[in-house]
Structure 1
């Protein structure tokens, strides 16, 4: 289906969603839509109050979160229009899906790549605990050794310095470094590979595999990543660094391949209770953190952008695609040469509601890009989440990007980066729906 016809069908489905209510509800349809929106706003506001308060206010907010949508549904049923509302809702969801599909532009050209050849002495580090034991499940050690790689399996009972293991391997002549493990371990070894300008290989044996996803690797079967050793291509991608010393002191800083998070999330994961009871720890800490009663007061500078007092900051190695309905998890490119910056600063229930109902477009969210981002605070040390690892770093923290500093080997044949649709924009959909086809445009020009 062409994007033009997808846009036309989106407009038709949206119109049908409204007509169903108008035809079968008459003037009551306007009241039904108003009540539905009011119930949604109340539920979102109640969720904010639940997160930012404790005691009886939190309990009342939970009740309101349940009561608001329940009351709306009861009202719809009482007037005998529940079926019409459900049909209208289904048509509206279809309209939004078609509209977003219509807005998907032609996939931008993928990152440049060239044939990788073969490594003479590949060195791989494997974490047997990652991903619930994927190293053993997929027999990654045996398969890699059969392809000529030297493999070190980490001891789950003791801490091992993976950076030092990688450096020792380079000194012994390793000409490729690879990791089967989580994003945090991959970042440390990637930093060594970038420092020595040798290829780096990712084996998607972690739990979330965010970096592997953005490289287009198969996250279901990590053994396919080993094909990069025999039939691979090389891509040059950007790499991020966190620097806590003085500029120009010669220290490259801590590497990050995905992102560094500051503020609420970083504070929560630092709590000793977080690992044992995540949900309870979050609910106990959020009220004071969101109100700035506890935790550091942050400030962010990225070029001309200056944000004071954000509750959460995310600095990413290349910007994330915010149109992804599954959340901030996809980057279509890793070689744009810019950091992505997201700052969340929500002061009250109204701003939280606006942020959610407008699909992330609101006063509570600031978005920017830049080659360097500086995060400062009113305390000398702040918690930072770096590729899923919880750290404590002295302030200010400087985030910088080294463009195309990392040589990554990936299999020639791989699933590819999942394509994320852009946020819904009804004006663009309408203009696209009114666009004439080539034949019609040609006839009009001829006349």
Structure 2
């Protein structure tokens, strides 16, 4: 009996070859159109990026005339680069090459994801809750609770709903605890990520399922759960036809967070009483002293065996965010990796600010994962932004991951379940493209 075995990665391998071919096409296009001048085009483009990054640093870290001139430089430099390309008749070639490169990156990312295999979510079917309890904030997301008639739709599905009164702030965690004492077998929130985190902590503490209704403004947690952010009423389908996921939670001191805890310059700025009324002006006023270490606490961060001394900013996330996204810190491929993401930024001058363009290879950028992160300070208290809320916590601040701590009930069908797409690693793509087929016959 004979059979033939084919390499399981034939599809991804050909996709990788196509990505490299398109990338090569971008290079050939520039070389053909510009010839020997293509080296000059590259130098001009890289110089323009570096000058823009440096100018942005001066805009944020300086005041007065220097700041104004730097802001003008940051605005004019990209336009000047484009004018330089246009003056030699090569703007079309540069824009076309960039478009081809973007297509190549898209194909390459898909090829690497297909080769690695999509990380399957571990879901389990469970009976619908008998006594679900939902908390809704009518002001979240510009009034999504009312706009999508979430209260009536939830009650029609058998849920008890408490609508918060914006004029009289309530302790949502205490509301959730009372509901549990009264027999609730599911807790849910239609509101911002900060409210989600407080109630999620209660649900995790009692081993109850938690439900997310994407009625906030940004809905980062809902996005990474794959929920519909355009129509939060579809999240209510979880009450009648849902499945459960096990996801991690972050803990900072005694408080739970579902997304991030931020330290450093931004966390200090948002503590200012003037920030709520005039965000931009407050940031521009406070940042220069914070970025140059003339104000604010001096931080020391230890994540595992790695120490970060005096960073301007540190972002600790419940599971690492993907850094390969063109949009930057957009989303987390997983919520069950059992690790915190740590991103530290240390920039002391314009040259280091320009160096951040190298991404993960930048000298002033540290990106890693750890189960525990300890943040120390030369001040007794540390400003922290936890899921968008400004807090002041006693130093040292300890952040830990709580693996699989939260049961999340979600609709069986979700439109935005994220693919586990890695960033484009061109070396890995080249290895995949030219990998040998393993095959033969057996008899």
Q: TM-score, normalised by structure 1?
A: 0.91
The alpha-carbon deviation at position 167 of structure 1 amounts to: 1.1
Q: 1:11 corresponds to which residue?
A: 20
CA contact (8 A) 1:359 1:423 kept: no
Change over 3 Å in CA distance of 1:4–1:363 after alignment to 2: same
Q: 1:124 corresponds to which residue?
A: 134
CA contact (8 A) 1:111 1:335 kept: no
| Pairing of 1:265-344 with structure 2 (within 5 A) | 265-344=266-345
Of 190, 197, 202, the match for 1:187? 197
Q: 1:430 corresponds to which residue?
A: 430
Q: 1:75 corresponds to which residue?
A: 84
How many equivalent residue pairs?
Answer: 432
Alpha-carbon distance between aligned partners in 1 of 2:82 and 2:249, rounded to the nearest angstrom: 50
CA contact (8 A) 1:332 1:417 kept: no
Q: 1:164 corresponds to which residue?
A: 174
Structure 1 gaps of 5+ residues are 244-252
The alpha-carbon deviation at position 420 of structure 1 amounts to: 5.9
Alpha-carbon distance between aligned partners in 2 of 1:50 and 1:10, rounded to the nearest angstrom: 38
Q: 2:156 corresponds to which residue?
A: 146
The alpha-carbon deviation at position 83 of structure 1 amounts to: 2.7
Change over 3 Å in CA distance of 1:149–1:351 after alignment to 2: same
| Superposed CA offset, 1:89-116 (max 9, x none) | 3333333333333332444433322112
Change over 3 Å in CA distance of 1:348–1:420 after alignment to 2: farther
SS in structure 2 at match of 1:359 = helix
Change over 3 Å in CA distance of 1:407–1:88 after alignment to 2: closer
Q: 2:123 corresponds to which residue?
A: 113
CA contact (8 A) 1:7 1:98 kept: yes
Q: TM-score, normalised by structure 2?
A: 0.92
SS in structure 1 at match of 2:82 = helix
Q: CA RMSD in A?
A: 2.1
| Superposed CA offset, 1:156-199 (max 9, x none) | 11111111111111111112111111111111111111111111
Alpha-carbon distance between aligned partners in 2 of 1:20 and 1:419, rounded to the nearest angstrom: 32
Q: 1:362 corresponds to which residue?
A: 362
Change over 3 Å in CA distance of 1:322–1:158 after alignment to 2: same
CA contact (8 A) 1:323 1:420 kept: no
Matched, 1:227 2:237: yes
Alpha-carbon distance between aligned partners in 2 of 1:431 and 1:82, rounded to the nearest angstrom: 33
Of 188, 194, 206, the match for 2:216? 206
| Pairing of 1:226-265 with structure 2 (within 5 A) | 226-243=236-253, 253-265=254-266
Q: 2:40 corresponds to which residue?
A: 31
| Pairing of 1:363-402 with structure 2 (within 5 A) | 363-402=363-402
